[in-house]
Chains A and B, each alone.
Chain A
Amino acid sequence: MTHKTQSIAYPYFVVALLLFVLQVIVGLWLAVQYFVTVPQAFVNVFPFSTARAMHTNLLVLWLLLGFMGCTYYLVPEETGTDIAWPKMAVAQLVLLSLTGVAALVGFVLGWTQGRPLLEIPTTLDFLVVIGALMFLANIGVTMIRAKRWTAVQGSLLGGLVFLAVMYLFGIPFYRNLAEDWYYWWWVIHLWVEGAWELIAAALTAFILIKLTGVDRKVVEKWLYVELGLFLFTGISGTGHHYYWLGAPKYWLWVGGIFSALEPVPILLMVVDAFRDVRDRKTAIHPRLTWVYLVGMVVLHFVGAGMFGFAHTLPMINYYTHGSQVTVSHGHLSFYGAYVLLNLTFFYFAIPRIKGFPNGDYNQKTGQFAFWLTTLGVLGMGLAFGVAGVLQTYLERIQGQPYMVAQEPIRFWMAIVAAHGLMVVAGALLVVKHLLTLKPATWKPAAEIGRVVAA
């Protein structure tokens, strides 16, 4: 940590991590409902739909708060100045957290806009917009005042502005359902396969520069290429969501071709990361941060790249669209790309915010927690995948009625839930480890005492 205001990131991380725990607990309950019969009286009060809205909104909220925290940590170091208005950054966190709580309580009471992932009502949308404007103003002014532009900063700011602008397309009510979904994907797809990738590329490049000591020029050069490919494939790749919503047939070609290329920039990111690791000028240290970093780039490619490619071509997607295959891809890619990105950054930043020497920390339970969570998510993703292939065959090809085809899927959902338990346990351990991070044990006792007191 080079600047005092970087520590604003910490409360963001704390809130994000707590929401993460809540998200996976609700997720476990969702999986259970697939194989256990919930009584009608309970369903009337707390249906699947409410829990699902909570699960997805918690995900989006905690990932975004995480990104914001990462940004507050990164910007002072990149620009060489403190955050312009640190108090406003805290106010922004309070505003967004309260909005989140209001949204969750609202869902239980039936206060919803009813569009998946964008359920929060218009009133709350405006609070989110205010929060986003506070954030962008704070970051933007800090960067402009500093007048020290880097590609990392540019990519990050570009991604954040892109993200905020796209959110606006999700706010209005659309009369026509086809048009509704058309612009819904401007939010969802252009976030995860556009804006968020810019943020991910920037944050990854930043960590790589800091951890490997590789020349910034090399990292930033490849960052440009990554970004160019991400946006080239990602923007027109939106078309892979337009196959079956009542849009013209050319989207089958455009969506198919561009989205089939989407794994390329992710692969480039993997190659870049491994090249930087190979050419590192420092020791691999602390090990767990590296495990997270490598885990992120690899699982980003597996979840988003490979599992996305598997069902992106129209002739396959015709049968798999809107089945558990989508769910499999969704879980693996969100975890691989964005959950691990946040956690990697947290592991990088928290020891530095706390002032541990060399950014080192005690990794003991962290290793176990990483593997528990990761193997849990992988097992869950594969079980969703089996369920999805079964559903595709039984319902879409054989023509069995939906509920008849769901019967054999119940078993695989029980497998999902079993892995869900692993994920919940793993997430609890990760969060506990991150929030109670201790300096590395080999440090002299006096130094530990000093850090804890600080």
Chain B
Amino acid sequence: MSNKTAKLIFWIGTLVSLVLFLALTVDTSRQFAALTHADKLDDQVVAGKHAFEHRNCNDCHTILGFGSYYAPDLTRTYSRIGEDAIIRRLQQPEVAFADDFRKMPQQHLSQQEISDVVAYLRWVSNIENHDWPPQDSQTRWKSSTDRLLAAAALSPGAALIQQENCLVCHTLGSQGESRGPRLEWIGGRRNASWIAGYLADPQKLAPGSPMPDFAHLTPGQRQMIGEFITAAAAGRGR
């Protein structure tokens, strides 16, 4: 390689990258307003940013993933823990983090500053940044809910409970009547095959029980009801 070629590589390499970078910067600046919802970026949000910087929050926390890594990322704090929890942490960190192995300093923020910071975090939480961070990903929350609903709707056990009108006597979640025990409570105490056997002949396992028998169901169907009830119990499968 000659010296001339080397110089050519230097100038072409540098200029190509520089021109591309500056052109994209111009375009990005144009798009920022829409992507960050700059129309909602009012003076209170800016005051919140000032308070946030004044207390050097960013040297423990990350925000948009930048900063220090000692404390949780704040990009989606507003949607993760909500306004009240943010206020409580800002007002009394010594109480909010009494049991934690890492402490947050008491910053002596005024009421005004606290609501400014909340406004700031609310605005930040709406920045469209390709759904980062993954732990607060809206796509992930949505697919989790979808899975839950789909599983419940498709669960043969759930369908049988509907079909057999179990909730005329029992409660499940916020539904049903309180004549018999709550299904989650049963699920927490018994396993699926016990429940299946009980459905076939309640008197055999619990003499004197007001529970009607479900001997007209197949053993497989009774097992499915048992599995659904145990899965619904607190502390199991959640």
Give the residue of A232, A252, A402, A407 whose beta carbon is less than 8 angstroms from that of B16.
Answer: A232
Question: When the two chains form their complex, are residues B36 and A246 in contact, meaning their CB atoms are under 8 A apart?
Answer: yes
Mask of B85-120 contacts with A, CB within 8 angstroms, 1/0: 000000001100000111111100000000000000
With A177-B36, A231-B14, A232-B13: A244-B129 Cβ-Cβ less than 8 Å: yes
Question: When the two chains form their complex, are residues A248 and B134 in contact, meaning their CB atoms are under 8 A apart?
Answer: no
Confirm or deny: A112 has a beta carbon within 8 angstroms of a beta carbon on chain B.
yes
Interface residues of A in 387-413 (CB under 8 A from B): 395-397, 399-400, 402-403, 406-407, 410
Other A-B pairs, 7, CB within 8 Å; known A114-B57, A228-B12: A48-B60, A52-B68, A179-B29, A235-B18, A236-B20, A252-B130, A396-B135
- The interface residues of chain B lying within 8 Å CB-to-CB of A234 are 17
With A322-B133, A323-B69: A48-B59 Cβ-Cβ less than 8 Å: yes
Confirm or deny: A438 has a beta carbon within 8 angstroms of a beta carbon on chain B.
no
Interface residues of B in 189-211 (CB under 8 A from A): none
- The interface residues of chain B lying within 8 Å CB-to-CB of A357 are none
- The interface residues of chain B lying within 8 Å CB-to-CB of A244 are 64-65, 129-130, 132-133
Confirm or deny: A306 has a beta carbon within 8 angstroms of a beta carbon on chain B.
no
Give the residue of A112, A177, A238 whose beta carbon is less than 8 angstroms from that of B64.
Answer: A177
Give chain B's interface secondary structure class: helix
- The interface residues of chain B lying within 8 Å CB-to-CB of A53 are 56, 59
- The interface residues of chain A lying within 8 Å CB-to-CB of B38 are 176
Shortest beta-carbon distance, A247 to chain B, in Å? 5
Q: How far is the CA of A234 from the CA of B27 in the complex (A)?
A: 20
Return the chain A residue nearest B49 by Cβ. Answer: A177
Shortest beta-carbon distance, A31 to chain B, in Å? 11
With A119-B56, A175-B41, A403-B102: A236-B17 Cβ-Cβ less than 8 Å: yes
- Most A CB contacts (10 A, CB to CB) among B10, B38, B63, B129 go to B10
- The interface residues of chain B lying within 8 Å CB-to-CB of A113 are 53
Q: Which of B1-9, B215-223, B225-233 contacts A (4 or more CB under 8 A)?
A: B1-9
Q: How far is the CA of A311 from the CA of B165 in the complex (A)?
A: 55
Mask of B60-86 contacts with A, CB within 8 angstroms, 1/0: 101111111111110000000000000
Confirm or deny: A50 has a beta carbon within 8 angstroms of a beta carbon on chain B.
yes
Question: When the two chains form their complex, are residues B127 and A178 in contact, meaning their CB atoms are under 8 A apart?
Answer: yes
Mask of B172-187 contacts with A, CB within 8 angstroms, 1/0: 0000000000000000
- The interface residues of chain A lying within 8 Å CB-to-CB of B10 are 224-225, 227-228, 231
Shortest beta-carbon distance, B17 to chain A, in Å? 4
- The interface residues of chain B lying within 8 Å CB-to-CB of A397 are 134
With A52-B70, A397-B134: A246-B129 Cβ-Cβ less than 8 Å: yes
Q: How far is the CA of A251 from the CA of B54 in the complex (A)?
A: 31
- The interface residues of chain A lying within 8 Å CB-to-CB of B101 are 37, 403, 407, 410
Confirm or deny: A375 has a beta carbon within 8 angstroms of a beta carbon on chain B.
no
- The interface residues of chain A lying within 8 Å CB-to-CB of B128 are 246
Shortest beta-carbon distance, A225 to chain B, in Å? 5
A-B contact pairs, 21 of them (CB 8 A): A33-B102, A43-B103, A44-B105, A48-B59, A48-B70, A52-B68, A115-B58, A184-B66, A224-B9, A225-B10, A227-B10, A228-B12, A231-B13, A232-B16, A236-B20, A244-B130, A245-B127, A251-B24, A322-B69, A403-B102, A406-B102
Confirm or deny: B55 has a beta carbon within 8 angstroms of a beta carbon on chain A.
yes
Confirm or deny: A38 has a beta carbon within 8 angstroms of a beta carbon on chain B.
yes
Confirm or deny: B143 has a beta carbon within 8 angstroms of a beta carbon on chain A.
no
Shortest beta-carbon distance, B37 to chain A, in Å? 9
Question: When the two chains form their complex, are residues A50 and B56 in contact, meaning their CB atoms are under 8 A apart?
Answer: yes
Question: When the two chains form their complex, are residues B32 and A176 in contact, meaning their CB atoms are under 8 A apart?
Answer: yes
- The interface residues of chain A lying within 8 Å CB-to-CB of B60 are 47-49, 52
- The interface residues of chain A lying within 8 Å CB-to-CB of B32 are 176, 178-179, 182, 246-247
Q: How far is the CA of A228 from the CA of B94 in the complex (A)?
A: 53
Question: When the two chains form their complex, are residues B58 and A224 in contact, meaning their CB atoms are under 8 A apart?
Answer: no
Return the chain B residue nearest A186 by Cβ. Answer: B25
Shortest beta-carbon distance, A297 to chain B, in Å? 19
Give the residue of A33, A177, A178, A221 whose beta carbon is less than 8 angstroms from that of B1.
Answer: A221
Give the residue of B11, B24, B66 whose beta carbon is less than 8 angstroms from that of A322.
Answer: B66
Mask of A310-325 contacts with B, CB within 8 angstroms, 1/0: 0000000011011110
Q: How far is the CA of A175 from the CA of B43 in the complex (A)?
A: 9
Question: When the two chains form their complex, are residues A319 and B134 in contact, meaning their CB atoms are under 8 A apart?
Answer: yes
Confirm or deny: A327 has a beta carbon within 8 angstroms of a beta carbon on chain B.
yes
Confirm or deny: B162 has a beta carbon within 8 angstroms of a beta carbon on chain A.
no
With A225-B6, A246-B36: A232-B134 Cβ-Cβ less than 8 Å: no
Q: How far is the CA of A182 from the CA of B70 in the complex (A)?
A: 23
Mask of A100-114 contacts with B, CB within 8 angstroms, 1/0: 000000000010111
Question: When the two chains form their complex, are residues B70 and A228 in contact, meaning their CB atoms are under 8 A apart?
Answer: no
Question: When the two chains form their complex, are residues A248 and B31 in contact, meaning their CB atoms are under 8 A apart?
Answer: yes
Q: How far is the CA of A181 from the CA of B3 in the complex (A)?
A: 39
Question: When the two chains form their complex, are residues B21 and A235 in contact, meaning their CB atoms are under 8 A apart?
Answer: yes
Question: When the two chains form their complex, are residues A250 and B65 in contact, meaning their CB atoms are under 8 A apart?
Answer: no
Q: How far is the CA of A402 from the CA of B134 in the complex (A)?
A: 12
Return the chain B residue nearest A37 by Cβ. Answer: B101
Shortest beta-carbon distance, A235 to chain B, in Å? 4
- The interface residues of chain A lying within 8 Å CB-to-CB of B130 are 243-244, 249, 252, 318
Question: When the two chains form their complex, are residues A181 and B66 in contact, meaning their CB atoms are under 8 A apart?
Answer: yes
Q: How far is the CA of A182 from the CA of B6 in the complex (A)?
A: 32
- Most B CB contacts (10 A, CB to CB) among A50, A114, A221 go to A114
